[in-house]
Chain A
Amino acid sequence: MTDEKSNSELDALVARSLVERGELIPTTVEEVLETRADYDGELPRALERYEPKPEPPEAQPVKAASRNGDALRVLSYIGVGAAMAAAIAAFFVSRGDQQIQGEHLGTTRAGPAGTMPVASQSPVVIRKGSCEASCCGGGECASAETAYTSCPTERTCIPCAGLDQADRLYRVRLGNVASASGQTAAALGQLDLCVSVGSTPGSPWVCEPAYLPAATRPRGRFLAKASSVDELVGGVSMELRPKGQNKVLAAWRSGIKVGVGSLCKGVSVNLQNEQHEQVGTLSMFLERTYYVELARRPDRAALDEVATAFAFDGRTPRFMTVSSDVRGGGHVLALGPFDKPEAEALLRELRGEPTALGAGFRIDNGDDYDAH
Chain B
Amino acid sequence: MSALESETDVALLRRVANRAGSAAEARAAEGVFYQRHVRFLYGVLVRKKTELLSAAGLSAEDLVQETFMRTFERAHTFTEGPADHSPEHTTARTRAWLGSVATHLLADHMNRLREVSATPYLERLSVDAVDEADPGESKTIALVSEGLDRLTERERDILRVTALYKRAGEEHGRLPNAVAQDLSKRWGTTNDNIRAIRARAMKKLEEFLSAQGVQAKGRIQ
A130 to B66, CA, bound (A): 24
A179 to B174, CA, bound (A): 18
Which of B47, B65, B69 interacts with A37 by CB under 8 Å?
B47
Given the known interface contacts A7-B220, A37-B44, the answer about A58 and B24 at a Cβ–Cβ threshold of 8 Å is yes
Q: In the complex, which residue of chain B has the Cβ closest to the Cβ of A176?
A: B113
Contact bitstring A24-46, B, C-beta under 8 A = 1, else 0:
11111111110101111001101
- Residue A274, interface by CB 8 Å: no
Instruction: Please name the 9 residue pairs, one residue from A and one from B, whose CB atoms are nearest each other, closest first.
Output: A39-B43, A12-B135, A6-B173, A152-B118, A50-B34, A22-B48, A37-B43, A175-B115, A4-B173
- Residue A3, interface by CB 8 Å: yes
A47 to B102, CA, bound (A): 16
A31 to B136, CA, bound (A): 12
In contact, A28 and B173 (Cβ under 8 angstroms) = no
Given the known interface contacts A10-B218, A43-B38, A47-B38, the answer about A88 and B65 at a Cβ–Cβ threshold of 8 Å is yes
A130 to B209, CA, bound (A): 55
- Residue A116, interface by CB 8 Å: no
Given the known interface contacts A154-B117, A314-B19, the answer about A47 and B65 at a Cβ–Cβ threshold of 8 Å is yes
Of residues 90 through 123 on chain B, the ones whose CB sits less than 8 Å from some CB of chain A are 92-93, 95-96, 99-100, 102-103, 106, 109, 112-120, 123
In contact, A39 and B40 (Cβ under 8 angstroms) = yes
A31 to B82, CA, bound (A): 18
- Residue A110, interface by CB 8 Å: no
B142 smallest CB distance to A (angstroms): 8
In contact, A185 and B113 (Cβ under 8 angstroms) = yes
Using a CB–CB cutoff of 8 Å, the interface residues on chain B facing chain A are 19-20, 23-24, 27, 30-31, 34-35, 38-40, 42-49, 51-52, 57, 61, 64-66, 68-69, 72, 81, 88-89, 92-93, 95-96, 99-100, 102-103, 106, 109, 112-120, 123, 129-136, 140-142, 144-145, 148, 156, 159-160, 162-164, 166-167, 171-178, 180-182, 184-185, 190-191, 194-195, 198-199, 202, 205-206, 209, 216-221
Which of A3, A7, A26, A88 interacts with B174 by CB under 8 Å?
A3
- Residue A276, interface by CB 8 Å: no
B141 smallest CB distance to A (angstroms): 5
Given the known interface contacts A15-B163, A27-B129, the answer about A152 and B115 at a Cβ–Cβ threshold of 8 Å is yes
B171: A residues at CB distance < 8 A: 8
In contact, B20 and A283 (Cβ under 8 angstroms) = no
In contact, A30 and B23 (Cβ under 8 angstroms) = no
| 9 A–B contacts from the bound complex (CB under 8 Å) | A8-B171, A10-B202, A12-B135, A23-B49, A24-B52, A28-B130, A47-B65, A127-B23, A214-B109
In contact, B116 and A24 (Cβ under 8 angstroms) = no
In contact, B42 and A43 (Cβ under 8 angstroms) = yes
Which of B46, B92, B140 interacts with A13 by CB under 8 Å?
B140
Given the known interface contacts A17-B141, A38-B40, the answer about A29 and B216 at a Cβ–Cβ threshold of 8 Å is no
- Residue A21, interface by CB 8 Å: yes
The segment out of A217-225, A232-240, A248-256, A353-361 that lies at the interface is: A217-225
A84 to B119, CA, bound (A): 11
B173: A residues at CB distance < 8 A: 4-6, 11
Q: In the complex, which residue of chain A has the Cβ closest to the Cβ of B220?
A: A7
In contact, A18 and B160 (Cβ under 8 angstroms) = yes
In contact, A29 and B131 (Cβ under 8 angstroms) = yes
B182: A residues at CB distance < 8 A: 185
B189 smallest CB distance to A (angstroms): 11
A314 to B16, CA, bound (A): 11
A3 to B170, CA, bound (A): 11
B211 smallest CB distance to A (angstroms): 14
B19: A residues at CB distance < 8 A: 314
- Residue A70, interface by CB 8 Å: no
Q: In the complex, which residue of chain B has the Cβ closest to the Cβ of A152?
A: B118
In contact, A52 and B44 (Cβ under 8 angstroms) = no
In contact, B205 and A28 (Cβ under 8 angstroms) = no
A130: B residues at CB distance < 8 A: 20
- Residue A106, interface by CB 8 Å: no
Q: In the complex, which residue of chain B has the Cβ closest to the Cβ of A51?
A: B31
